[in-house]
């Protein structure tokens, strides 16, 4: 997967290295930098404690419901194919629809 924080084109332009290094080398540097940064960033991660479908709407219950807000995008994993993937929160406790 290509690095997303800084692309190889951006790095080449900012450093002014042009074609001095192969694209694969510059991309590896970008990806390594991104991997290092991710070790120091804090990402919300809470276990899903329940899931179900009600009126054709998928619902998940997480262990810290107040950590997320309506409209926020989250990535669910380990919940089964119905729930896994990137989802947008359409309601939060105390069960809003907005």
In contact, 48 and 76? CB cutoff 8 Å: yes
Tokens 């084109």 appear where? 9
Higher-confidence residue of 17 and 78: namely 17
Token pair for 82: 């119905």
C-alpha distances in angstroms, 91 versus 9, 24, 74? 40, 43, 13
DSSP state of 87: E
In contact, 63 and 46? CB cutoff 8 Å: yes
pLDDT tens digits along 15-68:
999 999 999 999 999 999 998 998 888 777 888 888 888 888 888 888 886 778
Please tell me the pTM assigned to this model: 0.51
């Amino acid at each position: 997967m290509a690095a997303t924080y800084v692309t190889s084109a951006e790095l080449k332009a900012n450093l002014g290295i042009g074609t001095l290094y192969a694209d694969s080398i510059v991309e590896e540097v970008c990806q390594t930098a991104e991997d290092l940064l991710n070790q120091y960033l804090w990402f919300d991660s809470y276990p899903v404690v329940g899931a179900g479908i009600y009126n054709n709407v998928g619902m998940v219950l997480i262990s810290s419901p107040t950590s997320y807000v309506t409209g926020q995008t989250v990535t669910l994993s380990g919940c089964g194919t119905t729930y896994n993937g990137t989802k947008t929160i359409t309601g939060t406790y105390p069960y809003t629809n907005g």
